[in-house]
Copies of this chain bind each other. A is one copy, B any other.
Amino acid sequence: MAKAVCLLSGGLDSATCGAVARRDGFEVYALSFDYGQRHRIELQAAARVAQALGVAAHRTATIDLRGFGHSALTDDIAVPHNQLSSTGIPITYVPARNTIFLSFALAWAEVLESSDIFIGVNALDYSGYPDCRPEFIEAFERMANLATKAGVEGRTRIRIHTPLLRLTKADIVRLGSELNLPFELTHSCYDPSPEGRPCNECDSCLLRAKGFREAGIIDPVADHAHL
């Protein structure tokens, strides 16, 4: 069975992406990151989702992005609530995050002799992050094929799979549902309570709620009284 490295945050998108990799016949090597995020509770979700997906291995790499600062996801900057309509690149953007995450995935893929990397980025109902756009992914793939031993020796061609790239959040919910993804194991909130309950007000909660609503599916995680 071909091996694939899948970035797995524990959120709805990456979990659906992992389920697609399984559906497509890959043996999944799930990779999560402890990067000092406020919402570290998502790492527990990632472990639960990895187990539910039946991955071959799940690894959490600890990286030190807090030293570089400047994001509401890692710093002592408040996560904005109820601001889904704001324009521009949001304060929750973490500098070069997907570049760093994909670089680690590339390292692991090289060691596993895998040529397939899955990432659940989305260019439609996304949050305005530059490193979620198709042109970024294409440029990363091109670079990756020049960076690696396998690429240089012409043994393989690295592919960055982005099965969610052109889906709406509702499409993602429908796809996850078709693949029997246990939504109750996922965690999307950027600003959860100490017990891990979603705030239902941050960008990520609002996008998730919109997706479930439009798909006509009940989100087992959301606080429906609140929404």
Contact = CB atoms under 8 A, between A and B. Distances in A.
Interface stretch (A7-15, A38-46, A91-99, A187-195): A91-99
Interface string A182-214: 000000000000000000000000000000000
B63 A148 contact: no
Contacts of A107: 65, 68, 94-97, 99-100
A135 interface: yes
- Interface residues of A, dominant DSSP: helix
Interface in A87-143: 89, 93-100, 103-104, 106-108, 110-111, 130-131, 133, 135-136, 139-140, 142-143
A83 B100 CA distance: 33
A68 B100 contact: no
Contacts of A144: 99
A81 interface: no
Given A95-B106, A96-B147, 20 more contacts: A61-B67, A62-B62, A62-B64, A63-B63, A69-B111, A95-B108, A95-B148, A96-B104, A96-B106, A99-B106, A99-B147, A100-B100, A100-B103, A130-B151, A133-B146, A135-B146, A139-B143, A140-B143, A142-B143, A143-B143
Interface of A: 59, 61-65, 67-70, 89, 93-100, 103-104, 106-108, 110-111, 130-131, 133, 135-136, 139-140, 142-144, 146-149, 151-153
